[in-house]
């Protein structure tokens, strides 16, 4: 069971697709989403950083879904296969 919504990275991908988070995004944008959703307790900065980094690193884990592409300096974009409303 996911700790935050359907899972932090999946929630971020959904927010990007709906236009609530604008690409290119960073931890600040994710923090804004968390506050809008009113999740308590709020995830730590470390948790958010790890989720974004792990969700963009091709070598992290074979079972961890890679939703993002890191473009450097803490900024991310959504991978093409997760853009649009057709992904689940």
DSSP 2-39: -SSTT-HHHHHHHHHHHTSSPSSB-HHHHHHHHHHHT-
88 occurs within a structural domain = no
> Each residue of 15-33: pLDDT tens digit?
999 999 999 999 999 999 9
Is-above-0.85 flag for pTM? yes
Residue 46, phi then psi, degrees to nearest 5: -65, -45
pLDDT over 80 at 86, yes or no: no
In a domain, 70, yes or no: yes
What is the chain's Cα-based Rg?
12
Q: Where in the sequence is the domain holding 62, given as residue range(s)?
A: 8-82
In a domain, 3, yes or no: no
Kindly indicate the confidence band of residue 78, based on its pLDDT and cuts at 50, 70 and 90.
Answer: very high
SS3 content of the chain, % helix, strand, coil (to 5): 40, 10, 50
H-helix or E-strand spanning residue 69: strand 68-72
């Amino acid at each position: 069971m996911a700790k935050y919504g359907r899972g932090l990275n999946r929630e971020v991908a959904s927010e990007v697709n709906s236009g609530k988070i604008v690409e290119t995004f960073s931890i600040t944008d994710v923090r804004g989403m968390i506050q809008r959703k009113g999740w308590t307790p709020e995830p730590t900065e470390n948790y958010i950083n790890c989720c974004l980094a792990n969700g963009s690193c091709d070598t992290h884990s074979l079972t961890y879904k890679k939703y993002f592409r890191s473009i450097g300096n803490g900024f991310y974009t959504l991978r093409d296969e997760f853009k649009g409303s057709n992904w689940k």
